[in-house]
Amino acid sequence: MEQIIKEIEQLREALRYHSRLYYENDAPEISDYEYDRMFYRLVELEKQYPQYASDTSPTVRVGGAALDKFEKVTHPVKMGSLQDVFSYEELSDFIAKIDENDEYSVEYKIDGLSVGLTYEKGKLVLGATRGDGITGENVTENIRTIRSIPLEIPYKEHLIVRGEVYMPRAAFEKLNLQREAEGEVLFANPRNAAAGSLRQLDSKITAKRNLDIFIFNVQESAIEFENHDQSLEFLATQGFKTVYGHKTVKGIEKIIETVKEYGNSRDSLPFDIDGAVIKMNNLARRIETGENTSTPKWAVAYKFPPEQKETKLLDIQINVGRTGVLTPLAILEPVFIAGSRVSKATLHNLDFIRERDIHIGDYVTVQKAGDIIPEIVSVNEKKREEVKEFNFPDTCPSCGEKIYREEGEAAYRCTNLACPAQALRNIEHFASRDAMNIDGMGPAIVEVLYNEGLIRDVADLYYLDQKDIENLERMGEKSAQNLIAAIEESKKRGLDSLLYALGIRQIGKKAAQSIAKKFNDIDQYYTLTAEDFCKVEDIGEISAANTVNYFSHEKTKEIIQRLKNAGVVTVYESAENQSSKFEGMTFVLTGTLPTMTRNEASDIITANGGKVSGSVSKKTTYLLCGEEAGSKLTKAQSLGVKIINEEEFLEMVK
């Protein structure tokens, strides 16, 4: 047993050593194969001798048992955000207002997810997301899977540090290739992928995502540091991977020079940045300078303009959307922008193409709007040689029916309700979480069912046979049973959910609920006029006309009848025990909520007698605020509107 214990300890020490070389110094001494061989030998020994297991062993990196939900955590030290500036003039003004003679730390602004790590007696005991800065989520099990985070440190006093979890570009590309091969929805960018990976209830999934972290701040410690540089040096001695590329400089010119240097290095970095952070180096001077309501006065974030690249426009294809709109799609020579490979960009409509004088074969400048959606911003006419003008076809590329452009509209449309392209997307929308909420009926399953000829419209979902589903690839008896049960359960959603699920143009969830309350039986809709629908709150002339048009088609009548025959509820039944807790209250929602979508929160509000508004005003009762809140939060603070988080909101509902 002494030999076993010795081998376990030697393996742990060796794995920690080689992890530090790989993740912190980028200087591995052994191959991945050798590392893995040692790792799985340790796994085998700990499984065989569980009495010698340790919560700081490198083996905890593979993840543990899945959780039901994340616990809420109150941060002892507020994890605030920074004021953004978007020009060097704004940056100069900010520095001049404080003191340009001070020393400033300039750091890469890593595009990831902010977390706090707590250590007690040298051991990692808590990892929590930033949340709203005051309350976050306990993601300790997922944090433990990140190999660059030390599970044990030499410093044995209480310590809280703050860092940015991110997904390296190479890991992001690999993850999206896997998801594409498996028919799953791709992540938009590494930041979204990192956030989604860190918030997995199953830490084994997080462990496979190859997340990384930079630690950039000491939040709480018994050590009194004189400046930020000293705190970073201390963090490095504890085995933390500290913020990359940090420089301490003095003077506005030197600060701007460093920010420009960081901006020019974006392409060469193995991770995404969306700006630079500039903060006072002297910690005592930070205290003197003070804080604003929600941001420090001693620090600022310079946000880089969207990254732009030139590439060639190879072709323009037509994409038929769920509502029949034909959208031109630019097919590009692939180019790497803002953390991902871009090969397509929307061209919106023909007017957009003509205004920018875009031709097939042009060299175009591409950027990502909000660092997410690729778009063409300009054409390099000097490089124009053999090009071809684009024109819309006369017929729909999906079904061959004639297309139309309504007067006053930019969009061309296919109005054929049996159009295959529309049918597929209509079914996906119909089954989605905010519509009929058929659990397990994601885009990949819908596509398989459609391609196998098992469904052609939304009504077909309710006539599926379990045996047909069992025979599909990657399905089985249990999966088929679950899917049939979910379809059966969706029949009870009610008229308001059904109306929204049908995908009528410009009829959103709120409008569908208003219509259902006013006209509570779907059979009425075949005879109602646009004037009738205009009497409904939240319904305008265009929405009313679209609704009348939708219910005038014979195909609609056929689908509705088949839904009724299958037992789908087509009447509106208001709950007898509906609460009036929020009567007279108006809520505005902003940011990403931890456990629910905004639509789900809106449903709870309206079910309890409250109203949901899209903008903040003096009449707003509460701002329900999630992570990464925008301008609504600022406005609510200026108007003195009460701001609540999801936890407080759910307490109000009880």
Taken as a whole, the chain contains a residue count of: 654
Contact 47, 53 (CB under 8 A): no
535-549 confidence digits (pLDDT tens) = 987 788 888 988 998
Same domain for 160 and 289, yes or no, is yes
Same domain for 243 and 116, yes or no, is yes
Same domain for 541 and 633, yes or no, is no
Domain boundary, last residue among 268, 303, 338: 303
d(CA 41, CA 618): 64
DSSP string, 379-431: E-GGG--S-B-----SB-TTT-PBPB--TT-S-EE---TT-HHHHHHHHHHHH
Does residue 579 form part of some domain?
no
Query: Is residue 155 scored above 60 in pLDDT?
Result: yes
End-to-end CA distance of the chain: 55
Contact 228, 279 (CB under 8 A): yes
The pLDDT of residue 368? 78
Average pLDDT for residues 469-481, to the nearest whole number? 84
Does residue 186 form part of some domain?
yes
Contact 365, 378 (CB under 8 A): yes
Which helix (H) or strand (E) is 90 found in, with range? Answer: helix 88-98
Beta strands in 86-203 (DSSP E): 103-110, 113-120, 123-129, 135-137, 159-166
Contact 487, 431 (CB under 8 A): no
The fraction of the chain above a pLDDT of 70, given in percent, is 95
Domain boundary, last residue among 303, 318, 334: 303
Which helix (H) or strand (E) is 310 found in, with range? Answer: strand 308-320
pLDDT classification of 243: cutoffs 50, 70, 90: confident
Query: Is residue 458 scored above 70 in pLDDT?
Result: yes
The pLDDT of residue 627? 78
**CATH number of the structural domain spanning residue 102:** 3.30.470.30
Same domain for 55 and 82, yes or no, is no
Average pLDDT for residues 627-631, to the nearest whole number? 73
Residue 279 is encoded by which pair of tokens?
A: 């903060």
pLDDT classification of 581: cutoffs 50, 70, 90: confident
Residue 347 is encoded by which pair of tokens?
A: 């061209």
Query: Is residue 27 scored above 80 in pLDDT?
Result: no
Contact 124, 149 (CB under 8 A): yes
∠483-486-487 over CA atoms, to 5°? 90
CA 308 to each of CA 190, 193, 266, 365, 433: distance values in angstroms, whole numbers, following the listed order = 17, 22, 11, 6, 35
pLDDT classification of 185: cutoffs 50, 70, 90: low
The pLDDT of residue 515? 93
Pairing mode, strands 363-369 and 412-413: unpaired
Query: Is residue 201 scored above 70 in pLDDT?
Result: yes
484-513 confidence digits (pLDDT tens) = 999 999 999 999 999 999 988 888 888 898
Does residue 395 form part of some domain?
no
The pLDDT of residue 182? 64
Tell me the pLDDT of the chain averaged across its residues.
88
The pLDDT of residue 37? 80
Same domain for 328 and 273, yes or no, is no
The pLDDT of residue 224? 92
Same domain for 469 and 614, yes or no, is no
Same domain for 541 and 474, yes or no, is yes
**CATH number of the structural domain spanning residue 30:** 1.10.287.610
pLDDT classification of 183: cutoffs 50, 70, 90: low
The fraction of the chain above a pLDDT of 90, given in percent, is 44
368-413 confidence digits (pLDDT tens) = 765 567 889 999 999 998 999 999 999 999 888 888 887 777 788 8
For 84-93, 322-331, 568-577, 624-633, which range has the lowest pLDDT when averaged over its residues? 568-577
**CATH number of the structural domain spanning residue 355:** 2.40.50.140
Average pLDDT for residues 425-453, to the nearest whole number? 89
pLDDT classification of 577: cutoffs 50, 70, 90: very low
Give the three-class secondary structure for 357. coil
Q: What is the 3-state secondary structure (H, E, C) of 21-69?
A: HHHCCCCCCCCHHHHHHHHHHHHHHHHHCHHHCCCCCHHHHHCCCCCCC
Instruction: Give the domain extent around 322.
Output: 308-383
Same domain for 40 and 123, yes or no, is no
More confident residue, 395 or 29: 395
Contact 490, 567 (CB under 8 A): no
pLDDT classification of 195: cutoffs 50, 70, 90: confident
Average pLDDT for residues 210-228, to the nearest whole number? 95
Average pLDDT for residues 6-30, to the nearest whole number? 79
Does residue 457 form part of some domain?
yes
Same domain for 143 and 93, yes or no, is yes
The pLDDT of residue 608? 84
Average pLDDT for residues 176-201, to the nearest whole number? 79
The pLDDT of residue 274? 86
Residues pairing with 138 in the sheet: 128
The pLDDT of residue 22? 66
Query: Is residue 616 scored above 80 in pLDDT?
Result: yes
The pLDDT of residue 534? 92
Single-letter amino acid code for the residue at 281: N
Domain boundary, last residue among 274, 303, 332: 303
Average pLDDT for residues 260-270, to the nearest whole number? 88
More confident residue, 213 or 293: 213
The pLDDT of residue 32? 66
The pLDDT of residue 245? 78
The pLDDT of residue 499? 94
The pLDDT of residue 307? 78
d(CA 297, CA 303): 17
CA nearest neighbour of 621 among 633, 631, 609, 610: 610
The pLDDT of residue 566? 95
CA nearest neighbour of 328 among 279, 263, 393, 232: 393
Contact 511, 543 (CB under 8 A): yes
**CATH number of the structural domain spanning residue 539:** 1.10.150.20
Does residue 410 form part of some domain?
no
The pLDDT of residue 610? 86
Single-letter amino acid code for the residue at 396: C
Query: Is residue 112 scored above 80 in pLDDT?
Result: yes
Average pLDDT for residues 22-40, to the nearest whole number? 71
451, burial (CB in 10 Å: exposed 0-12, middle 13-18, buried 19+): exposed
CA nearest neighbour of 524 among 500, 501, 499: 499
Query: Is residue 522 scored above 90 in pLDDT?
Result: yes
Same domain for 119 and 225, yes or no, is yes
Classify each residue of 215-225 as buried b or exposed e, where b means 16 or more C-beta atoms within 10 Å of its C-beta.
bbbbbebeeee
The pLDDT of residue 24? 56
d(CA 176, CA 179): 5
336-373 confidence digits (pLDDT tens) = 886 678 899 888 888 999 999 999 999 999 987 655 67
Does residue 574 form part of some domain?
no
CA nearest neighbour of 421 among 319, 559, 535: 319
Query: Is residue 94 scored above 90 in pLDDT?
Result: yes
∠228-232-238 over CA atoms, to 5°? 145
Same domain for 518 and 553, yes or no, is yes
Does residue 549 form part of some domain?
yes
Does residue 404 form part of some domain?
no
Same domain for 487 and 341, yes or no, is no
Domain count, the chain: 5
Classify each residue of 617-646 as buried b or exposed e, where b means 16 or more C-beta atoms within 10 Å of its C-beta.
eeebbbbbbbbebeebbebbeeeebebbbb
d(CA 297, CA 287): 10
493, burial (CB in 10 Å: exposed 0-12, middle 13-18, buried 19+): middle
Rg over alpha carbons for the chain, rounded to the nearest Å, is 28
DSSP code of residue 185? P
The pLDDT of residue 538? 72
The pLDDT of residue 34? 78
386 phi and psi, to 5 degrees? -90, 105
pLDDT classification of 55: cutoffs 50, 70, 90: confident
Query: Is residue 590 scored above 80 in pLDDT?
Result: yes
d(CA 600, CA 650): 12
The pLDDT of residue 576? 47
The pLDDT of residue 127? 95
Average pLDDT for residues 4-26, to the nearest whole number? 80
Q: Which residues form the catalytic set?
A: 109
CA nearest neighbour of 562 among 505, 522, 513: 522
